[in-house]
């Protein structure tokens, strides 16, 4: 994943490269193995069987890569097609220049001092090069200077070439890890200080886990080791994370720590069964999701019905560790907005594409160190899912922060959920939610409050609720429905 970087003047680039690798090692241990591997960066782990040397042996897997940025196509672009056209256009231009090479030489020979003063700096610089060292691009520059706008074949092709080059240069890029031709030397750092190297180490995995059989293991070998059926952790950690998303809490509550300081699973046999089912299903997350959401445990109501929760179950297991009911969860910040968009009929089903800029309160982008532009999206882009909303780390959209969206400075595997007056005020007064209420008002006028209520809460209102809502003006009724606890809660 991308790590935080520092590009200020005077920094030690090697220090921040190593910090990135530290983060990568710790993240690998946490995400895939559920182990606090980063605790062994400066000393042997205090609680788990992980030595400092083993941390740096894992470090060695990630120490010999650079991060080049590769271009990726924007929506509607075909990168290979653009590259192919670029090659074709460049070939036509070069053939045309070569056919007129003698003419170009004569033009250069005839240039006097006064004529050279009128040429651009780029042309002057190219003329200063020896003829044998000039590239195809240099010859195009000279040919353009010679013909000006008078060559009907050359100029359109030359303009297209520049356009293609700019498109490929300015397009989106993605960071990749590329192995260096010669691996870097990896050493253990005393107390984690990169200025105090100790003995050299080679890539290896912690001895407490199953062995990695490759003689000179690479990152690919590490990846295969992680998803081996012999690995006792990876499948369990993944299914526990997916379970946590559906129930609000994993079978192992400490989802990032399966070590000795983590909490034991509430249902160890279920965790093992899900892990085996996940592997038998070809490590298919889609299959795992299907297994969980079609289970009786997931499809339970969160209501504390008297025959179960209101009596002995509620007092014996108030935290619902035994899963006698579903857990009631407030929707995530992005989905709070999505739910209101869906209820109001405005949600755009469009998938993919660049980030969007939904309405935010005026002045928000002036709160950070730098005032940033927020080009408010128009049309369907205004109503895209929250997943596509552009986020500046220093100034995230306020409605997302109010509903406990994590900041952009650190990773987050579980969101904390709060209940504050600001959340109700946001649903009532935020410009975006007011707009959603206007759209829901039209549904009330067209289909009635019963249908609008059902769109918000997935149930029909009872007689008292319907009477109370019908007594309000449609717009106010819409605001009330979007502000209901049921609207923003997974029952």
Read off the pLDDT of residues 1-58 as tens digits, 9 standing for 90 and up.
Answer: 567 667 677 778 888 889 989 999 999 999 999 999 999 999 999 999 999 999 999 9
CA distances from 191 to 52, 198, 480 (A): 9, 10, 57
Flag the least confident range among 270-274, 287-291, 387-391, 442-446.
Answer: 387-391
Residues 183 and 169 placed together within one structural domain of the fold? no
Greater confidence, 306 or 424? Answer: 424
Q: Interhelix angle for 13-33 vs 52-62, to 10°?
A: 110
pLDDT given at position 116: 83
What residue numbers bound the domain in which 335 lies? 328-491
Task: Spell out where 14-109 has E strands.
Answer: 65-66, 69-71
Separation CA 92–CA 214 (nearest Å): 50
Residues 471 and 359 placed together within one structural domain of the fold? yes
Q: pTM of the entire structure?
A: 0.76
pLDDT given at position 180: 85
Listed residues 152, 173, 194: the one ending a domain: 173
CB 250 within 8 A of CB 244: yes
CB 338 within 8 A of CB 407: no
The DSSP secondary-structure symbol of 190 reads G
Residues 100 and 210 placed together within one structural domain of the fold? no
What string of DSSP letters covers 88-138?
HHHHHHHHHHHHTHHHHHHHHHH--HHHHHTS-HHHHHHHTS-GGG--HHH
pLDDT given at position 140: 84
Report if residue 241 sits inside a domain.
no
Residues 31 and 143 placed together within one structural domain of the fold? no
Residues 388 and 414 placed together within one structural domain of the fold? yes
The DSSP secondary-structure symbol of 422 reads H
Residues 428 and 349 placed together within one structural domain of the fold? yes
Residues 207 and 64 placed together within one structural domain of the fold? yes
**Residue 201 zone, left/alpha/beta (φ > 0; ψ -120 to 50; rest):** beta
Separation CA 378–CA 357 (nearest Å): 9
pLDDT given at position 266: 95
CB 169 within 8 A of CB 82: no
Residues 45 and 105 placed together within one structural domain of the fold? no
Residues 491 and 387 placed together within one structural domain of the fold? yes
**Token pair for 78:** 């075909």
Residues 196 and 163 placed together within one structural domain of the fold? no
What string of DSSP letters covers 380-407?
GGGG--GGGB---SSS--HHHHHTTPPP
Separation CA 100–CA 147 (nearest Å): 11
Residues 192 and 166 placed together within one structural domain of the fold? no
> For the segment 146-186, what is each residue's pLDDT rounded down to a tens digit?
887 667 888 888 888 888 888 777 666 676 778 888 889 99
Choose among 96, 109, 106, 111: nearest CA to 144: 96
Separation CA 103–CA 120 (nearest Å): 20
Residues 133 and 189 placed together within one structural domain of the fold? no
CA distances from 216 to 203, 221, 248 (A): 8, 9, 42
Listed residues 108, 142, 173: the one ending a domain: 173
**Per-chain mean pLDDT for the chain:** 89
């Amino acid at each position: 994943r991308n790590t935080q970087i520092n590009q200020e003047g005077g920094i030690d680039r090697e220090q921040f490269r190593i910090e990135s690798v530290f983060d990568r090692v710790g993240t690998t241990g946490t995400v895939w193995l559920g182990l606090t591997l980063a605790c062994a960066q400066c000393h042997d782990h205090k609680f788990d069987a992980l030595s400092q040397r083993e941390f740096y042996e894992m470090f060695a897997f990630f120490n010999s890569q650079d991060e080049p940025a590769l271009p990726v196509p924007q929506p509607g672009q075909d990168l290979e097609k653009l590259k192919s056209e670029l090659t074709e256009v460049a070939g036509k231009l070069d053939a045309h220049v070569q056919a007129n090479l003698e003419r170009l030489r004569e033009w250069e020979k005839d240039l006097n001092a006064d004529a050279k003063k009128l040429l651009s700096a780029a042309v002057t610089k190219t003329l200063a090069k020896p003829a044998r060292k000039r590239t195809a691009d240099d010859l195009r520059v000279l040919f353009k200077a010679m013909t000006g706008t008078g060559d009907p074949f050359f100029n359109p092709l030359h303009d297209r070439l520049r356009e293609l080059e700019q498109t490929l240069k300015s397009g989106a890029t993605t960071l990749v890890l590329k192995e260096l031709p010669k691996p870097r030397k990896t050493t253990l750092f005393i107390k984690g200080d990169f200025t105090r190297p100790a003995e050299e180490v080679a890539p290896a995995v912690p001895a407490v886990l199953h062995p990695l059989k490759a003689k000179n293991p690479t990152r690919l070998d590490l990846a295969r080791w992680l998803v081996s059926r012999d690995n006792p952790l990876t499948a369990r950690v993944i299914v526990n994370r997916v379970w946590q998303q559906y129930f609000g809490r994993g079978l192992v509550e400490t989802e990032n720590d399966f070590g000795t300081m983590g909490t034991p699973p509430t249902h160890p046999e279920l965790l093992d069964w899900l892990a085996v089912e996940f592997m038998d299903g070809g490590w298919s997350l889609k299959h795992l999701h299907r297994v969980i959401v079609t289970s009786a445990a997931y499809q339970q109501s969160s209501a504390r019905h008297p025959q179960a929760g209101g009596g002995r179950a509620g007092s014996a297991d108030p935290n619902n560790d035994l899963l006698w009911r579903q857990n009631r969860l407030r929707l995530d910040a992005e989905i709070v907005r999505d739910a209101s968009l869906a209820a109001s009929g405005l949600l755009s089903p469009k998938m993919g594409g660049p980030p969007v800029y939904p309405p935010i309160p005026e002045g928000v982008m002036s709160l950070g160190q730098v005032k940033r532009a927020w080009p408010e999206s128009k049309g369907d882009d205004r109503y895209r899912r929250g997943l596509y909303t552009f986020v500046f780390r220093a100034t995230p959209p306020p409605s997302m922060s109010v509903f406990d969206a994590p900041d952009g400075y650190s990773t987050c595997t579980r969101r904390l959920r709060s209940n504050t007056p600001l959340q109700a005020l946001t649903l009532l007064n935020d410009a975006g939610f007011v707009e959603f209420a206007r759209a829901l008002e039209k549904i009330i006028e067209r289909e009635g409050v019963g249908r609008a209520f059902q769109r918000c809460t997935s149930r029909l209102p009872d007689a008292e609720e319907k009477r109370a809502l019908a007594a309000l003006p449609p717009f106010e009724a819409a605001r009330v429905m979007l502000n209901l606890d049921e609207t923003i809660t997974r029952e």
